[in-house]
């Protein structure tokens, strides 16, 4: 059992609390049973899994699976686990895993894709990942200045869906839009057409912008369709995750007709 926060492994894990060190080491932290279990279910590599005795007793079946699957497992004291935890009330398991690295996808294979420009809120990003996985999105591209896919709050908000949808950070979103063979839809509050007037059954790329500033004119002008989500008078707009959910589930609704 590891009982000291001066242990080299524990020091490494604590450094991974910051994005700077996650990037430098090309690693991320998966904290909590939901994330660790989701990674195991899809075969996502786990380099080190730290757990408490109480967690092992509560999740004996999952522990047996993880023990065989992970490269290394370490029992740690509650004191040490509190020191490496990202949350105030951790459930007793945390894993070091490689950062996400999904291969490029052929655009002709994308039936439903999302472009996220300067999305800043981790909760919004995580919720979008969860909704995207639930609605069959093939690929998500995010701008370099968006919140990181492996930000701890993004991972928690995704509730494991981050392992079930393709994601890439893209330096040139305009090139993706221009090369996409299907329709490209931009969400703008001033658009004349509402989102339920669009045929989502054809290959579609949806563009979503920053929570405050919205979609940049540069990307919006590349879309063939500009649509709005109607809101009551006096309401500026919906947040990005709610907007994404409405559009993605409109496609699901059309599929069911």
| Average pLDDT score, the chain | 95
Q: Band the pLDDT of 236: cuts 50, 70, 90.
A: confident
Q: Does the pLDDT at position 20 exceed 90?
A: yes
pLDDT number for residue 256: 92
Q: Does the pLDDT at position 239 exceed 90?
A: no
Who's near 109: CB < 8 A, 6+ residues apart? 138
What domains can you pick out in the chain, each with its CATH number?
8-98 (3.30.1330.30), 107-256 (3.40.1280.10)
What pTM, to 2 d.p., does this model score?
A: 0.93
Q: Band the pLDDT of 235: cuts 50, 70, 90.
A: confident
Q: Are 229 and 243 in contact (CB under 8 A)?
A: yes
Q: Are 115 and 139 in contact (CB under 8 A)?
A: no
Q: Does the pLDDT at position 26 exceed 80?
A: yes
Q: Are 92 and 81 in contact (CB under 8 A)?
A: yes
**pLDDT tens by residue, 30-45:** 999 999 999 999 999 9
Q: Are 168 and 139 in contact (CB under 8 A)?
A: yes
Q: Band the pLDDT of 166: cuts 50, 70, 90.
A: very high
Q: Does the pLDDT at position 211 exceed 80?
A: no
Neighbours of 241 (CB within 10 A): 22
Instruction: Work out the end-to-end distance of the chain between its first and last CA atoms, rounded to an integer number of angstroms.
Output: 57
Phi and psi torsions of 247, nearest 5° = -70, -45
């Amino acid at each position: 059992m590891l009982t000291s926060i001066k242990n080299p492994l524990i020091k490494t894990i604590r450094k991974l609390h910051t994005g700077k060190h996650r990037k430098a080491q090309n690693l991320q932290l998966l904290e909590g049973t939901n994330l660790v279990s989701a990674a195991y279910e899809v075969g996502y590599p786990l380099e080190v899994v730290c757990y408490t005795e109480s967690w092992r007793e509560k999740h004996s079946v999952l522990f047996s699976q993880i023990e065989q699957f992970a490269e290394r497992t370490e029992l740690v004291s509650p004191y040490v686990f509190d020191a490496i935890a990202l949350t105030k009330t951790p459930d007793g398991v945390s894993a070091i895993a490689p950062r996400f690295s999904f291969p490029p996808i052929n655009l002709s294979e994308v039936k439903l894709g999302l472009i996220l420009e300067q999305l800043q809120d981790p909760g919004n990003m995580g919720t979008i990942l969860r909704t995207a996985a639930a609605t069959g999105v093939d690929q998500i591209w995010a701008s370099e200045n968006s919140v990181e896919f492996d930000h701890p709050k993004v991972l928690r908000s995704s509730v494991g869906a981050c392992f079930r949808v393709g994601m890439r950070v893209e330096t040139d979103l305009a090139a993706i839009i221009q090369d996409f063979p299907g329709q490209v839809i931009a969400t703008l509050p001033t658009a004349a057409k509402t989102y339920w007037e669009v045929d989502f059954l054809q290959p579609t790329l949806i563009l979503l912008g920053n929570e405050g500033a919205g979609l940049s004119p540069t990307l919006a002008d590349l879309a063939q369709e500009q649509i709005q989500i109607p809101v009551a008078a006096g309401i500026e707009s919906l947040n990005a995750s709610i907007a994404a959910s409405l559009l993605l589930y409109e496609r699901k609704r059309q599929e069911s007709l």
